[in-house]
């Protein structure tokens, strides 16, 4: 039943309107059933979980469970918890002035019961919106039982002239204050074991214990915990009795395809409107960007237990557009297209987001980032051009012989970071075999994507050891592998 909350101001008004109390878990369950029945998206904006995580999460909510979302960093665990707010009723009534969001029909605090006893149906009530019913706490080593549950407040005792034996001197912590709300504890294993033990009673019986008080508050909470499997070994663990009291543990995962990863990146990237208007991003550039994350998750240099967050692709995309934007500001062009050489600008986004194993530390974070970019190009290359076999006869003819000969006979080829669009295109157009290969194998490619594809062809041949590429201060130089050496002899 939907009530007109703007006209209900007292307990008597609420009773007359026919309001019926229900627990937060029933709220979530009823609203979820309604959404499923209407065929609506329950967790909008979360991609790649439609057939895995979301059905499990829906089942947990329907079962009225407290939930633990277990997965590596950057797998949308906190986002899922925040989206659960949309499954709450839009407005709920509370006793005005209550610290613990007392239900007017089922008060739990001493303040609320005494107020109702004094004023009866004239007890004032107020309404809180569902957006204000989300509480979140990051588990850190300095979190105390007093922070989460509560403690005796000596200042309150002095001001009210009360003995410490009076329960009115209690200062409630975050959990009681989140009564009738969703309460999220992020990185649960980082919470000290003694603090985790303090949660037992709340999860099982719904009551809290503060100091020596015989206090029973049947709290109404939806707990959502998040945890990283890495934490179980590196920093802490979830104590077994607490795990036993969490109804459902749901495993999250990274995007399983480039298409899903691109959706996430485009949705989450914080772009300036000028960047969106002035910088064109070829679809193949987005593929390369996302492939870097896929390569990192399988790389021998990167710690797989730590994971590679989806935030790496998001920040890399932002840096990619900023690199192109900076170039057009310096060159005076009004617009541009992303180039493959612009990917050198995303390296700071990669080095800060990956945890390296010993071999990776020996290579250095910057070198590993360049290796991941090269591996991404190598993986995508055969989707657009003939595959280059690793093992082939030295004298075997290939589709790339004319292009390699062009570099063998020339003095090298340079692409500068700050070339204008006209200079960049003129240089690539001057390599005739590039145009021939593109016409033969990518005849339908849009003109605005063709120059990125030509550059991909050059970088792909470098990755397959058919050409050499050298970075210098102003840009890149491409050469034949052995031509300059032979001519020197």
Residues 112 and 233 both lie in one domain:
yes
Residues 236 and 93 both lie in one domain:
yes
Q: Of the residues 216, 233, 251, which one is the last residue of a structural domain?
A: 251
Residues 236 and 310 both lie in one domain:
no
Residues 415 and 370 both lie in one domain:
yes
Tally of CA atoms within 13 A in the half-sphere of 121 that contains its CB: 7
Q: Of the residues 251, 277, 296, which one is the last residue of a structural domain?
A: 251
Residues 342 and 465 both lie in one domain:
yes
CATH number of the domain where residue 116 is located = 3.40.50.300
Q: How far apart are CA 219 and CA 173, in angstroms?
A: 13
Residues 115 and 229 both lie in one domain:
yes
Q: For residue range 86-143, what is the model confidence (pLDDT) as tens digits?
A: 999 999 999 999 999 999 999 988 889 999 999 999 999 999 999 999 999 998 888 8
Model confidence at 485: pLDDT above 60: no
Residues 482 and 395 both lie in one domain:
yes
Residues 363 and 385 both lie in one domain:
yes
Residues 235 and 263 both lie in one domain:
no
Residues 275 and 183 both lie in one domain:
no
Residues 179 and 198 both lie in one domain:
yes
Contact criterion met (CB below 8 Å) for 455 and 415: yes
Q: For residue range 140-190, what is the model confidence (pLDDT) as tens digits?
A: 888 888 888 887 777 776 776 766 556 677 788 899 899 999 999 999 988
Q: Counting Cβ atoms within 10 Å, is residue 128 exposed (0-12), middle (13-18) or buried (19+)?
A: middle
For residue 55, give both structure tokens.
């059905």
Can you give the residue range of the structural domain that contains 61? 5-251
Q: How far apart are CA 340 and CA 453, in angstroms?
A: 9
Q: Of the residues 201, 216, 251, which one is the last residue of a structural domain?
A: 251
Task: Judge if pTM exceeds 0.75.
Answer: yes
For residue 472, give both structure tokens.
């210098």
Which of 67-81, 94-108, 295-309, 475-489 is predicted least confidently? 475-489
Residues 347 and 309 both lie in one domain:
yes
Instruction: Give the count of domains, the chain.
Output: 2
């Amino acid at each position: 039943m939907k009530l007109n909350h703007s006209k209900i101001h007292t307990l008597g008004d609420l009773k007359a309107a026919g309001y019926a109390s229900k627990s937060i878990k029933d709220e979530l369950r009823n609203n979820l059933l309604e959404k499923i029945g209407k065929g609506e998206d329950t967790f909008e904006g979360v991609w790649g979980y439609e057939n895995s995580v979301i059905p499990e999460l829906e089942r947990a909510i329907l079962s009225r469970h407290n939930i633990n979302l277990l997965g590596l960093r950057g797998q949308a665990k906190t986002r899922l918890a925040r989206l659960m707010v949309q499954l709450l009723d839009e407005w709920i009534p509370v006793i005005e002035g209550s610290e613990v969001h007392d239900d007017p029909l089922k008060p739990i605090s001493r303040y609320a019961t005494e107020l109702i006893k004094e004023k009866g149906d004239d007890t004032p009530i107020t309404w809180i919106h569902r957006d204000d019913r989300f509480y979140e706490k990051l588990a850190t080593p300095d979190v105390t039982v007093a922070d989460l549950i509560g403690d005796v407040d000596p200042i309150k005792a002095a001001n009210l002239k009360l003995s410490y034996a009076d329960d009115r001197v209690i200062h409630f912590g975050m959990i009681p204050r989140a009564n009738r709300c969703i309460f999220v504890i992020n990185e649960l294993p980082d919470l000290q074991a003694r603090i985790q033990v303090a949660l037992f009673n709340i999860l099982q019986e719904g009551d809290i214990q503060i100091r020596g008080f015989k206090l029973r508050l049947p709290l109404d909470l939806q707990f959502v915990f998040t945890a990283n499997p890495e934490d179980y070994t590196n920093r802490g663990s979830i104590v077994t009795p607490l795990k036993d009291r969490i109804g459902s543990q749901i495993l999250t995962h990274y995007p399983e395809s480039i298409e899903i990863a691109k959706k996430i990146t485009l949705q989450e990237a914080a772009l300036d409107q000028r960047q969106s208007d002035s910088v064109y991003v070829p679809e193949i550039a987005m593929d390369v960007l996302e492939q870097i994350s896929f390569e990192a998750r399988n790389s021998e240099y990167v710690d797989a237990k730590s994971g590679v967050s989806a935030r790496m692709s998001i920040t890399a995309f932002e840096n990619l557009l900023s690199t192109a934007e900076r170039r057009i500001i310096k060159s005076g062009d009004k617009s541009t297209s992303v180039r493959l050489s612009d990917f050198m600008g995303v390296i700071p986004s990669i080095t800060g987001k990956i945890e390296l194993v010993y071999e990776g530390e020996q290579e250095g974070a910057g070198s590993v980032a360049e290796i991941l970019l090269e591996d991404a190009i190598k993986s995508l290359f055969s989707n657009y051009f003939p595959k280059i076999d690793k093992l082939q006869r030295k004298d075997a003819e290939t589709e790339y012989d004319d292009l390699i000969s062009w570099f063998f006979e020339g003095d090298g080829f340079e692409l500068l970071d700050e070339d204008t669009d006209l200079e960049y295109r003129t240089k690539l157009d001057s390599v005739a075999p590039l145009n021939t290969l593109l016409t033969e194998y990518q005849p339908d490619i849009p003109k605005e994507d063709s120059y990125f594809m030509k550059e991909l062809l050059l970088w792909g041949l470098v990755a397959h050891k058919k050409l050499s590429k050298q970075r210098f201060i102003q840009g890149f130089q491409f050469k034949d592998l052995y031509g300059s050496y032979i001519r020197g002899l």
